């Protein structure tokens, strides 16, 4: 190394894996063999670069460092190739994950068990109880064990030889032993003959990976990633090395040979979701990539927001208000008073798997006598109302944020949903926004409603059905939460019926509402897949677009 020379590191700093508990990552080990249980269909990997400014490729496609990727694991052999490259663009490592699924040790599937003859150079003999036939008897309670101290007299390589009366084809070798780091075979060559005389070497210096150095009698399984051996009458496993110094022996409880589908490279499943979505100056906003629609309340003194969407699939594409934008890049919006919508479409790298996230914004709700239409009621009732004034329905429309309507405790046990809240006015009212306030919304907030209204006081029209009400807090901390229902305009209503389809009531046996607010706010409309501002009609703010 000369003065001023930079050292670049092309390794992975970490590789997190799910559903592969037997695999332990070491940045300097580039080849891995993982046996996947037959009941596991999906795994995830999260590769993270040592050089944060480097690049990452999975099976030749670019992905972000630290991105969690999901794979469907088919029966048979499959693999994932991970190339990590340092920021110099040249220093790199190729990690290979080999997977095996579907190895079932039965006489009809494990080809080793159909042998006609089997020998091993280090065999103790059948009378010892540790003979070579034990490794192909289908029992994990018996074992082949080499002659104690044999390697001191006869150094490696040793041999295990199998013969069949009919030709056999296989591409997978599984070995089983407990305490693999103490007694497992670690390196082999594979040789076979189809005529019993002329031998072909199919693989040399194949590593066998073990992980346990504990004498706990827990069975370990490892497999050798070998090419297909066609039409073999005889198989020679040349044992080049084994862990034998601890007990002076190496051991093999079961030797298994299979002919399984070779699926080659497998690719991440198409994931069109966002992995994250942040709005830093709206601290009440929280993201869950399985939730497609959000109600976001904007403080009146906040004029603009930044939205940063991040793709789950780093090789996918992202559109905000119909405009293609860079992944994980902040987009700035001016938020007008009233109701506004922003659409975010995330698409996976397959070009077809997509998700559409909808952000409904509300700004300008002020709970005053002249603005909150609910407070101008002439009558209000609730089917679950308690007797007395302390928690009556009137409390939700009194303009006092720390008084509340609370349903009769245990009312749901005898009166299942839906319940009702009914408001009546002397004059027709028009509104397009319902705001609810309560503490501990995930414990006592109303969570789903229908909205019905009557213009004549008799006949009701359903304006909206199954409207979700989103709450965030499951803490009993007395902190007030506000949320809103995104509903169409209710015009000239003399009566309003809020049908409560569900509520969070199990913890305290009741649901509660501190304030019910109704507003007729400017409808700014949706942001469609068009980055240009659309001129609004009279009385509207129009479409909002990124700055």
Question: 239, 265, 291 — which closes off a domain?
Answer: 265
Answer yes or no: do 253 and 336 share one domain: no
Q: Is residue 123 part of a domain?
A: yes
Name the helix (H) or strand (E) containing 442.
helix 441-444
In terms of Cα–Cα distance, which of 514, 507, 437 is closest to 474? Answer: 507
Catalogue the long-range contacts made by 78-82 (C-beta closer than 8 Å, 24 or more residues apart).
Answer: 78/263, 78/264, 78/265, 78/266, 79/264, 79/265, 79/266, 80/45, 80/265, 80/266, 81/265, 82/12, 82/15, 82/45, 82/47, 82/56, 82/57, 82/58
DSSP state of 452: E
Tell me the CATH number at 418: 2.60.120.260
Assigned domain for 483 exists: yes
CA–CA separation, 233 and 230 (whole Å): 9
Pick from 457, 444, 463: which is nearest to 518 by CA?
A: 463
* Same structural domain, 503 and 384: yes
Instruction: Give the Cα separation of 34 and 39 in Å (integer).
Output: 14
DSSP annotation of 271: -
Are residues 483 and 410 part of one domain?
yes
Question: What's the pLDDT score for residue 178?
Answer: 97
- What 3-state DSSP class applies to 488? strand
3-state SS, one letter per residue, for 345-371: EEECCCCCCEEEEEEEEEECCCCCCCC
* End position of a domain, from candidates 56, 72, 101: 101
In this structure, the answer to whether residues 359 and 302 fall within a common structural domain is yes
Residue that is last in its domain, among 313, 343, 363: 363
CA atoms of 209 and 187, how far apart (whole Å): 9
Q: Which of 447, 482, 476 is nearest to 284 (CA)?
A: 482
Same domain flag for 121 and 258: yes
- Round to whole Å and give the CA distance between 446 and 80: 47
Q: Is residue 544 part of a domain?
A: no
Q: Whole-angstrom Cα distance, residue 226 to residue 228?
A: 7
Specify if 482 maps to a domain.
Answer: yes
* Domains contained in the chain, number: 4
Q: Indicate whether 133 and 95 sit together in one domain.
A: no
Q: In tens digits, what is the pLDDT along the chain, a chain of 547 residues? A: 456 557 899 999 999 999 887 788 999 999 999 999 999 999 999 999 999 999 999 999 888 899 888 899 999 999 999 999 999 999 999 999 999 999 999 999 999 999 999 999 999 987 889 999 999 999 999 999 999 999 999 999 999 999 999 999 999 999 999 999 999 999 999 999 999 999 999 999 999 999 999 999 999 999 998 999 999 999 999 999 999 999 999 999 999 999 999 999 999 888 899 999 999 999 889 999 889 999 999 999 999 999 999 998 877 899 999 899 999 999 999 999 999 999 999 999 888 999 999 999 999 999 999 999 999 999 999 999 998 888 999 999 999 999 999 999 999 999 999 999 999 999 999 999 999 999 999 999 999 999 999 999 999 999 999 999 999 999 999 999 999 998 999 999 999 999 999 999 999 999 999 999 999 999 987 753 333 333 233 333 444 455 5
Q: What is the torsion angle, in degrees rounded to the nearest 10, for the CA atoms of residue 107, residue 110, residue 111 and residue 113?
A: -50
CA distance 382 to 370: 24
What string of H, E and C letters represents the secondary structure of 228-258? EEEEEEEEEEEEEEECCCCCCCCEECEEEEE
Range of the domain at 139: 111-265
Are 377 and 498 contained in the same domain? yes
Distance of alpha carbon 408 from alpha carbon 46, whole angstroms: 49
* Cis bond before residue 157 (omega within 30° of 0): yes
Does residue 205 fall inside a structural domain?
Answer: yes
- Give the Cα separation of 194 and 518 in Å (integer): 84
- Spatial separation of the C-alpha atoms in residues 81 and 90, rounded to whole Å: 17
Same domain (yes/no): 62, 116: no
Burial string for 256-270 (b: 16+ CB within 10 Å, else e) reads bbbbbeeeeebebeb
Same structural domain, 176 and 31 = no
Q: What gap in Å lies between CA 57 and CA 83, rounded to an integer? A: 5
Q: Let me know whether 407 and 504 are in one domain.
A: yes
CATH number at residue 93: 2.60.40
Answer yes or no: do 66 and 149 share one domain. no
pTM: 0.63
Please indicate, yes or no, if residue 84 is contained in any of the structural domains. yes
- Asked if 202 contacts 243 with a C-beta cutoff of 8 angstroms, the reply is no
Residue 526, φ and ψ in degrees, nearest 5: -80, 155
Determine, yes or no, domain membership for 350. Answer: yes
**What is the distance between the alpha carbons of residues 267 and 7, in angstroms, rounded to a whole number?**
32
Residue 162, SS3 per DSSP: strand
The neighbour count for residue 338, using CB atoms within 10 Å, is: 21
Task: Confirm whether 459 is domain-assigned.
Answer: yes
Do residues 497 and 407 both lie within one domain? yes
Contacts of 330 (CB under 8 A, 6+ apart): 306, 307, 308
């Amino acid at each position: 190394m000369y003065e001023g020379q930079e050292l670049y590191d092309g390794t992975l700093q970490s590789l997190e894996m799910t559903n592969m508990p037997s695999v332990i990552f070491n940045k300097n080990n580039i080849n891995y063999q993982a046996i996947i249980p037959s009941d596991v269909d999906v795994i995830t990997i999260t590769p993270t670069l040592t050089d944060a400014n480097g690049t990452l490729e999975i099976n030749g496609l670019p992905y972000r460092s630290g991105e969690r990727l999901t794979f469907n694991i088919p029966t048979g052999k499959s693999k994932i190739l991970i190339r990590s490259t340092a920021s110099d663009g040249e220093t790199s490592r190729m990690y290979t994950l080999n997977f095996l699924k579907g190895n079932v040790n039965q006489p009809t599937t494990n080809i080793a068990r159909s042998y006609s003859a089997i020998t091993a150079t280090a065999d103790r003999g059948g009378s010892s109880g540790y003979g070579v036939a034990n490794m192909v008897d289908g029992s994990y309670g018996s074992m082949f064990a080499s002659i104690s101290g044999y390697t001191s007299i006869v150094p490696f390589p040793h041999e295990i030889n199998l013969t069949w009366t009919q030709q056999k084809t296989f591409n997978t070798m599984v070995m089983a032993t407990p305490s693999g780091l103490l007694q497992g075979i670690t390196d082999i060559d594979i040789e076979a003959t189809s005529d019993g005389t002329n031998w072909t070497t199919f693989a040399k210096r194949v590593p066998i990976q073990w992980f346990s150095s504990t004498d706990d009698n827990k069975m370990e399984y490892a497999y050798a990633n070998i090419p297909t051996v066609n039409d073999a009458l005889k198989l020679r496993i040349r044992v080049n090395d084994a862990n034998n110094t601890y007990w002076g022996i190496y051991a093999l409880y079961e030797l298994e040979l299979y002919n399984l589908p070779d699926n080659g490279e497998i690719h991440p499943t198409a994931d069109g979701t966002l992995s994250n979505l942040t709005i830093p100056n709206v601290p009440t906003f929280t993201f869950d990539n399985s939730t497609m629609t959000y109600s976001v309340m904007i403080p009146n003194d906040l004029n603009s927001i930044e939205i940063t969407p991040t793709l789950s699939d780093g090789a996918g594409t992202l559109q905000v208000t119909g405009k293609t934008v860079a992944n994980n890049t902040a987009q700035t919006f001016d938020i007008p008073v009233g109701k506004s919508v922003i659409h975010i479409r995330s698409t996976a790298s397959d070009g077809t798997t997509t998700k559409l996230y909808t952000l409904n914004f509300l700004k300008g709700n002020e709970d005053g006598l002249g603005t909150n239409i609910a407070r101008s009621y002439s009558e209000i009732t609730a089917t679950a109302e308690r007797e007395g004034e302390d928690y009556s329905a009137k409390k939700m429309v009194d303009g006092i944020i720390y008084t509340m309507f609370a349903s009769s405790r245990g009312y749901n046990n005898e009166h299942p949903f839906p319940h009702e809240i009914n408001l009546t006015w002397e004059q027709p009212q028009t509104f397009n926004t319902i705001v609810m306030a309560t503490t501990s919304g995930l414990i006592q907030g109303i969570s789903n409603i229908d909205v019905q209204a009557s213009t004549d006081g008799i006949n009701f029209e359903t304006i909206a059905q199954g409207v979700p009400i989103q709450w965030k807090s499951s803490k009993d901390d007395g902190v007030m939460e506000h949320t809103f229902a995104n509903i169409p305009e209710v015009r000239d209503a003399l009566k309003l019926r809020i049908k409560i389809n569900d509520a969070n009531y199990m913890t305290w046996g009741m649901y509660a509402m501190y304030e019910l607010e109704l507003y007729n706010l400017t409808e700014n409309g949706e942001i469609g897949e068009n980055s240009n501002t659309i001129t609004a009609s009279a009385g509207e703010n129009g479409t909002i677009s990124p700055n």
